[in-house]
Structure 1
Amino acid sequence: MLSDAFVATADFRSLIESDDRTIVVGRRGTGKSALYIELQKHWKKDKKVIVICFSPEDTEIIGFRSLLRPFSESFNLSRAVTKLLWKYTMLMEMANYVLSNYKLSSLIERDSLLNSHLTRWNETKGGYLTKSRNIARLFLTSIYPEEAVGDLPGNLELSQVEEKVLGLFDKADRRVVVLMDRLDEGYESDAVGIGMIAGLTYAAIELNKRSHLIRPIVFLRDNIYRTLAKEDPDYSRNIEGQVIRLHWDWAQLLTLVTARMKLSFKITVEKDQKVWDRVTAGELQGRDGFKKCLQFTLYRPRDLLSLLNETFFCAARHSRETAIIQDLDRAAQSISVARLEDLWKEYSKIFPSIQLVTSSFKDGEPELLVGSAIQVIQHHVETTEDTSNHESLAETRILQASGLLQSLYSVGFIGIHDSSTSAFSFCHDGRTPDKGFENRDKILIHPCYWLGLNLSRNALAPEEAEEINDEYDIVVQSATPEIRKVKIGQTVSQLDKIPLGRDGAREFEHWCLDTLRIIFASHLVNLELAPNGQAVQRRDIVGTNRSGSDFWKRVHEDYKVRQVVFDSKNYSGLGPEEYRQLQSYLTGQYGKLGFIITRDEDEHMTGVELDWVREMHKSHSVLIIKLPARYLCKLLQKLRNPEKHDAIDRLMFSLLDNYERNYLQLKTTYTRRPKRK
């Protein structure tokens, strides 16, 4: 179907009729792969043209990156090295083709220079980049990287090899076309990754200009090209004029769609509009009807074909041979919901709160200011505190609304408005924005989620589709883990800044509250400071026990604790007064177990503290557990990996076991004075 229904656009004709453009740029789903395949077919029909295809696997790209580690700090060095190696690689593969062709091999058999290079080239098994890497390893060194780059052309004998290879094709009366695709495999947007792409484009452009016998064409994803344009200081001089950008208008898309319809429905009508009207009815007929379909896409062939496949599937389920507007609406809704659910599924492990946070935008506007979006997230999180999803709530407490918004950007859910281009740019590589969000910045929820979230708008105008740069993949990668680590690190480091004693008591209380809300998210709800602040018995921090985990269920069942008390003491070393005070709080709903948060270095009990734990249990049947702030930090660190969300519960369960089995069973450390005789 891809070949049979291929549309020979103006872009296709430009590439086969002219050598002016070397780089083909297109967003995902704009037909780069189809163009790559059709160009192969077109030139393979010409016996005077040799077609060589570069389509590396991600493992080859990753392996090649390791070679460039000494140049990782410099884009210019990475570009220079890869330009030389890409050029050498293309020349070697051209010569290798001649050697393997029985009609042409005689041209190369007596050339000692090329034979020696080809012998070394073919000693390594594997793809082009693997061979190139093994040869380059002989000459590149991490000790003197600049010197190694300077010597590389001579070590590869690049000028001589280039002259020899061009001479071969001149003698053979052949032309070679080199097609390079799938360069986004294993791509990373750093100095090495961008340098590799820049080096390839420079090598291709130079060979294209060097001889009419060589026609290289490089296919690049739009996001990679934009990064290259941003990072390469010589972009406008060397690359910009070599680019052809794939673009589709409504008429071309209609031609593409109807070409497939003719094959699928066996329609012999010639005119595109008549074909469309043959398979649609009602509001979907005519030019305006077709444009209604385009409103749900970004004017990309892949989006449109997916939508129409689902539309006609809906029609078939209702035993109709023609599609109507209701089929289109159902299809668009179904696809949007599916994409939203795919997003949740892909990121649930590394971004546990993604469903909770994205759902906060339901029934709202697709375009917001950052400040408004933060308020929306805050309100939604606060109203869903009773959720039983512990790891999700813990993450919202750690990241806060601003961190959650950055995480949504890193997975491509929202895009940020670029005032310099008047376009909304969406993340494509799981990274955080280049700059922090400002409250007045505009953001846009990606259009593919509008229907799934039932937003106030459900379709794009044609001019709006052009203003969206959304080159990203749904891959399991996100900035959320990094943001989470930073936030946890900030909370831990904040403790060290709080002075001991009365001066820092209030600040310590707030730190304890914030930390407890993160650690015991969803297990303890309505955690607050001094809920009975005016009472005689003023409890520092209280939260409601939902019995939502093994530990807290045990606390409720064994100690009858529904309201959990945490007494904060901004010092180390507990005595009788602290234990008696907390014991006096433990009545009614507060049960027979409470916690004291201290500034001790560890949770181990000895001496006087141990005696008073046993005394409170023996005399009043209450258990008082010491939770040093350092121990809370230890629990916080467990949240760095959201998949280990139950680690905290296991540690608390073990701590309670230790009190019951060991501390309460030990003999007192208090030594009585011997009685006088």
Structure 2
Amino acid sequence: MVASFKRGIVDEVLAEQLRTHSLYPRQLVDSLIAERNYIESYTFDLRVLAFAEEAYDALKRGRDKEWLRLMNKAKQIVKDADIVLGADSRTNLVLIDRIDDAWDGSDSAVLALMATMHACVEMSATCERIRPMLFLRENIFERVRAIDPEFTRLETCVVSLDWTRQQLQEMVERRLQLPLNPKPPLGETWKLLFDMVGSAPASEMILDYCQQRPRDVLTYCSLAVESAQASRHQRVTVEDMDAAKVRFSESRLKDLGDEYSENFPQIQLVLNRFHGLATEFTVPAVTAFIQKLLADSEVMSYCGQWLSRVAAPHLFIELLYSIGFWGIRSGAVVEYRGVGLRSASPPTISSSSTVVIHPSLARALDLQAKVIGDLEDIVLQREGLLLELPEAIDLEQYQERLRRILTDLDATPTGNDYDDEYERIVGEVIRLCFFRWLNNLEPHRQDNEGRVIRDWIAANVAEQGFWQLMKDKYDACQVIWECKNKSLIEAADFHQAEYYMNSAIGRLVILCFRGDDIEKHHYQHIRRISEKLKGMVLILRDRDLKVFVRQAINQKVKEEHIRQLFDTTIRNVS
């Protein structure tokens, strides 16, 4: 796998060099000329799969010589590519990001990621002209750390993105400056736009409240500015910042469950049980809380596998400290987890210590400002903000229907005979994965003249995020989902999508098909529709539908994947 990823990364660099004419075919040596089919005709994913299948096939058949030949071929291609690229003094940076968009948390996914990390480390040590850089969320990184016997080889190449308070303040200030003309000098923007909080600058309160997490700081500032605009304030007042805390707290709690659901499945169920309790707990109270969790059938059904491993009070405290849910008080000082891998270790826990849930989560959980020392007469609540489920079904039914989608999607063949089944599957994806933004889902209907068939149409009720953008940009108050149970889409399919667009329902069509790749001529049709009607056709494949389903299984309320598909489409048609 490591050899396959190294070869795939090199081919990706060569493909980009040839595409931009920074490198010409006549400059390639024999080993790279033989590789041109993979370089020019394959995407990165298909290329790596082809290399891996070839190597595994040789191993399965016991052809050791063939396997060694493939390993040596990969080494030679990496070596020759470095020599060819050495004619140019520039270094080629390969940025690998958004791993978590299609991440399913399976053991095979962890092994593939482990191979990618080792490939990046080996190439950084042996290649002068190619420098791969892999960006990972901490929780995914920890999955590799837990199972990789050679992790020490990786640790020397790991860099944590740590932000100082000054850097965060400057980053947010530059974002705030962007629409201003003229722009105030750095250091003055905070004072110009935000009121003081008591005697301290607003930036100090915001950074503390958001635990110095860059994305959270930006989210909170955005909510505060929106609140000020809604109230027609010239500056962001203390009241605006306080109003933003309510919305931010709810968002932060959901994001916390999303972020660590890969490592601790359905951890939001555990966090939800704190609803209505207190902001601070003694160690005996934490012990009693754990016992109530172990007696909760729903929690044990979904979280029992990992919860049993951290049932000891000190382990449970360390876990929730490491994810930023609470801090540890010793005397008058409360220490919350900072940003970065080095900040994950908790301070010493003694019998007199208490744990304090972070203020940014208190409002979403409706916590009381008090210390709880005993939970004997308290019943843990089940309601809260984390578990939003469609159609009044319970979590078990929801999970079962989502898993059935994955099974049915793999089992459904292409072809006209299975059109209805594929349409049903796509309808389930919309119903179970997009219910927060799309509702009133209806199956295909014919118009009065009996000509138009729309496989699914859904009302866009979003008030923010990606789907609100679609309303603003394409008047998409309704979203049409066209289901094509075939591996190739044709010009007629785009003409049909174009025919659906009008001023009454909007100019956005989601086109689902069974192929693996979106071709260049697909983007040419979308460009034509964009220029003619200012409309958009967004193409989804089976792999994209599976990403949405896996995110829903893990209770991830995220729009990054569909936003990335939209961004890619926009860039290709621009």
Q: What TM-score does the superposition give when structure 1 sets the normalisation length?
A: 0.43
Task: Determine which structure has more spread, i.e. the larger CA radius of gyration.
Answer: 1
Q: What TM-score does the superposition give when structure 2 sets the normalisation length?
A: 0.50
